[in-house]
Homo-oligomer: A and B are copies of this chain.
């Protein structure tokens, strides 16, 4: 149940987040959202015309959260290794409290490709700035010219996949929640080292 001090609209949004994050669009039920918010189902349509619109609000919220984190960290003035370290640390910390969000975002484009594409179009995200920054920073700090897309995809893969695949990996390896979290803690150091070591190896290989 959601905090009853909030206004109706906020209660709905919080409840919708809770349900959509865990169930996705198709799996979520308007009735469940209403129950979670402690209000009548018709109010969902009064404040947000349709399930689609409500979902859109929830998705945009999740998206803006991760975008803000990336921007804040990677457009700061720090060595690359520190940025990657900060990102991993912040990301994993945030995720421990909202562990379904990464799945929710990726699942979105599988469930509702057109809607999600429209959201991306509306928000005109520009990853090229980030790529440019990454490329120049790598060149400056490690003296090598590497496709920044691949570096970025590596960082994202090593950060996000272990979170998304957590339920599956835990089941296969029979790991407790605690054990898995401990392994994630280790990765806060391990992953930045992995990326940086690769860059250093390129550095030596080119000289």
Copies of chain A in the complex: 2
Could you tell me if A167 and B110 are in contact, using CB atoms closer than 8 angstroms? yes
- The reply to whether the CB of A117 lies closer than 8 angstroms to some CB of chain B is yes
- The tally of residues in A whose CB lies under 8 Å from a CB in B reads 48
Residues of B within 8 A of A165 (CB): 106, 156-157, 160
For A158, give its contact among B116, B125, B158, B169 (CB under 8 Å).
Answer: B158
Task: Find residues 160-198 in chain A having any chain B CB closer than 8 Å to their own CB.
Answer: 160-162, 164-165, 167-169, 171-173, 183, 186-187, 190-191, 193-195, 197-198
Q: Which label, helix, strand, loop or mixed, suits the secondary structure of the A interface?
A: helix
For A201, give its contact among B27, B171, B200 (CB under 8 Å).
Answer: B200
Could you tell me if B110 and A171 are in contact, using CB atoms closer than 8 angstroms? no
Closest CB-CB distance, A206 to chain B, in whole Å? Answer: 13
- The reply to whether the CB of A109 lies closer than 8 angstroms to some CB of chain B is yes
Closest CB-CB distance, A53 to chain B, in whole Å? Answer: 20
Could you tell me if B150 and A161 are in contact, using CB atoms closer than 8 angstroms? no
Q: List 26 A-B contacts (CB under 8 A).
A: A24-B26, A24-B111, A103-B107, A106-B168, A107-B107, A109-B168, A120-B171, A120-B172, A125-B172, A127-B172, A149-B173, A149-B183, A150-B186, A150-B187, A153-B162, A153-B187, A154-B158, A157-B157, A157-B162, A158-B158, A160-B161, A161-B164, A164-B164, A193-B201, A197-B198, A197-B201
